[in-house]
Structure 1
Amino acid sequence: MATAGTERGTRRRRGTGVGVLVAAVLAAGPVAGCTTSDGPRDDGRGSPTRPGGQDSPPVLAVKIDNAPAARPQTGVDAADVVYAEQVEGGTSRLIAVYATELPESVGPVRSARESDLELLRQFDRPVLAHSGAQSKLMPLIERAPLEAVTPGSEPEAYTRDPGRSAPHNLYLRPERLMDDPPGEAALTTGFRFGRPPADGEPRNELTVRYPASRTTFTWSDARDRWLVSMDGTPALTAEGERLAPATVVVQYVTVRPSGFRDFLGNNTPYTETVGSGEATVLRDGRGYEANWSRPAAEDGTSFTTEAGERMNFAHGQVWVVYAKTP
């Protein structure tokens, strides 16, 4: 996958909210917390600016099904960042964020959750593709600083796979929303990339467990990547290749009950991504104990080692798995 990008135009779809959004973003000023190899630059007012002081169109974030029936997913390997969070019943779902590459298809696409709104505040009015949400959550989504794209609002951007059963058969076609990816400058995650810190211990494997699912990352010297397994089974692309990020972050956060329940009465967990805490970072076959900080929802998340050194990530795809603080 691409790890760097240029700022290119995004399709202005006449008569759609996406087109209006892109025009507004291109006219907007700099935003904070961008991702670059050297980190964000300070504009003299205490806020980091994007490289060259340029603005870019918004990132595309897609809510992706992670139930066994939804695997293998499509397009996850092309994402710059993949977030994994706990949902009802102790299972997990993914949010894939695209800035430097747009795959032909992404999915299966599923519904949004309240936690997604806080998580995505770090990006400047992102486009969030999802299949919908329960009626009580919809007003929050409508007020959030993002552009929600659903089959109802942009039916031409979605397709159904006749070989799969609903609800695991809905797919997004990103090229029907954007001509080109927005570029690396749109990744306002706060992540820094570069040489690894001096500390860290050799590590071959790490498993994150939710009440009803587990995700395992195993180091591959041959691939120079962390191979992903879901519930004990290799996680594959639609073409049969292993999902394999360069950096894995297990971020320990507060996971609390939200005010929402599914149709079975299960409470939807709320994952708090603003604040500070501990993390384990995997890169280059080593594990690093780290600290994370995100002071406000508009900020990206910074990571430091226990010694206070900046925690650089390896160039390539990053997976962030939110785990409940022990």
Structure 2
Amino acid sequence: MGHRARIRRATHTAALLTAVLAASLTAGCTGQGRDDDRAPHHSPTPSPSLSTAGSPLAVKIDNVPAARPQTGLDAADVVYAEQVEGGLSRLMAVYATRLPAAVGPVRSARESDLELLRQFGRPTLAFSGAQRKLLPLIDKAPLRAKSPDEAPDAYYRGTGRAAPHNLYLHPAGLLPAAPGGTALTTGFRYGPAPSGGTPTTSRTVRYPAARFTFTWSAERGGWLVAMDGTPTVTTDGGRMAPPTVVVQYVKIRASAYHDALGNRTPYTETVGSGKAQVLRDGRSFAATWSRPAATGGTTFTAADGSRMDFAAGQVWVVFAPAP
């Protein structure tokens, strides 16, 4: 074999080895993470711009005991609580009127999150990853999906906690500013409390392996939150006490997806209608909820047929299994 032929063959072999190595490294980026954060999301990442100013930021937040106390949860306008694998719970915090310096720990997305977020037009979703087969649905959803792969500078690993409970977000890395209250297209209405209601001191919602308890505090003008029997505080020491808590009874069914252990992921249906309880001002009000289409918000109606008004301030919505 001539000298030039040997050079061409060596060059071709090196190119093949480089391609194989690159392919193996790419494959290693997926399926190797911990728990259900095992399939990072990949797509081009534009820098934050004014085009995001009219949409809220939604952050998936870890809620197992090892993830508490959370950071930045008190700044959210709405906190959704949902059931996930193993009967545990996870939170979705929505920010519109203000952005905290940090939020977390950030965890992975679920299929039903996409339906829930349709009401916000094109929100920004901060999440740590997702089940690999779910990623194409996230790509097609009308939202700005921003995992650490798309926006690495917006995330950081905290100290003092083991992964995966130590991933945090700097919201300013995803949005230039808080979009304001008009971005909260939830369908909620705020105003004076309706007449009637049942005096209530405490209300507990249970999942198979988690529970939320809300205890009325006249001093705070809100419902002190406890999760799994432990008072809920943030890292700055503040006790969570939202003025309004909604227990929304929904259908929770198995989805087509599962976690790394093979547990089937629950799907929380937030489009439709059903019963609800609204807690505000130390009272519980029987209500019904209605969300005819995913692109609209949820309206709540009191027992007398009037629109249910919420108290000003943070709202917690706990999705409870319909009886």
TM-score w.r.t. length of structure 1: 0.84
- Structure 1 residue 16, shift from structure 2 partner: 3.5
Over 3 Å counting, the alpha-carbon distance change for 1:273 and 1:18 in structure 2 is farther
Asked whether the equivalents of residues 65 and 108 of structure 1 are also in contact (C-alpha less than 8 Å), the reply is yes
- Structure 1 residue 18, shift from structure 2 partner: 5.4
Q: Secondary structure at the match of 2:133?
A: coil
2:246 equivalent in structure 1: 249
1:164 equivalent in structure 2: 161
Q: Which of these residues, 260, 264, 272, is aligned with residue 261 of structure 2?
A: 264
Which residue identity does 1:67 align to in structure 2?
Answer: V
2:34 equivalent in structure 1: none
Q: Does 1:213 align with 2:242?
A: no
Matches within 5 A, 1:68-147: 68-147=65-144
Q: Is 96-105 or 237-246 further displaced after alignment?
A: 237-246
- Structure 1 residue 313, shift from structure 2 partner: 0.0
Q: Does 1:284 align with 2:313?
A: no
1:17 equivalent in structure 2: 46
Which residue identity does 2:187 align to in structure 1?
Answer: G
Q: Does 1:235 align with 2:232?
A: yes
Partner Cα separation in structure 1 for residue 46 and residue 251 of structure 2: 34
Partner Cα separation in structure 2 for residue 224 and residue 195 of structure 1: 14
Partner Cα separation in structure 1 for residue 117 and residue 46 of structure 2: 18
1:181 equivalent in structure 2: 178
Asked whether the equivalents of residues 208 and 216 of structure 1 are also in contact (C-alpha less than 8 Å), the reply is yes
Asked whether the equivalents of residues 18 and 147 of structure 1 are also in contact (C-alpha less than 8 Å), the reply is no
- Structure 1 residue 67, shift from structure 2 partner: 0.4
- Structure 1 residue 309, shift from structure 2 partner: 1.1
Q: Secondary structure at the match of 1:77?
A: helix
Instruction: String of CA shifts for 1:101-125, please: whole Å, max 9, x gaps.
Output: 1000000000000010000000010
- Structure 1 residue 19, shift from structure 2 partner: 3.8
Instruction: String of CA shifts for 1:241-267, please: whole Å, max 9, x gaps.
Output: 211101000000000000001111111
Over 3 Å counting, the alpha-carbon distance change for 1:286 and 1:18 in structure 2 is farther
Q: Secondary structure at the match of 1:136?
A: helix
Instruction: String of CA shifts for 1:15-68, please: whole Å, max 9, x gaps.
Output: 843547x53x6xxxxxxxxxxxxxxxxxxxxxxxxxxxxxx5210000000000
- Structure 1 residue 179, shift from structure 2 partner: 2.8
Asked whether the equivalents of residues 197 and 310 of structure 1 are also in contact (C-alpha less than 8 Å), the reply is no
Q: Does 1:307 align with 2:304?
A: yes
**Identical pairs, percent:** 66
CA RMSD of aligned residues (A): 1.1
TM-score w.r.t. length of structure 2: 0.85
1:324 equivalent in structure 2: 321
Which residue identity does 1:17 align to in structure 2?
Answer: P
Asked whether the equivalents of residues 289 and 306 of structure 1 are also in contact (C-alpha less than 8 Å), the reply is yes
Q: Secondary structure at the match of 2:185?
A: coil
Partner Cα separation in structure 2 for residue 59 and residue 291 of structure 1: 26
Runs of 4+ in structure 1 deviating by more than 4 angstroms, as ranges, are none
Partner Cα separation in structure 2 for residue 100 and residue 172 of structure 1: 17
Partner Cα separation in structure 2 for residue 179 and residue 134 of structure 1: 29
Which residue identity does 1:218 align to in structure 2?
Answer: T
Over 3 Å counting, the alpha-carbon distance change for 1:138 and 1:170 in structure 2 is same
Instruction: String of CA shifts for 1:184-240, please: whole Å, max 9, x gaps.
Output: 000000000001111211101000000000000000011111000000010111112
Unaligned runs of 5+ in 1: 1-14, 26-55
1:297 equivalent in structure 2: 294
Partner Cα separation in structure 2 for residue 17 and residue 246 of structure 1: 37
Q: Secondary structure at the match of 1:137?
A: helix
- Structure 1 residue 73, shift from structure 2 partner: 0.2
Q: Which has the larger radius of gyration?
A: 2
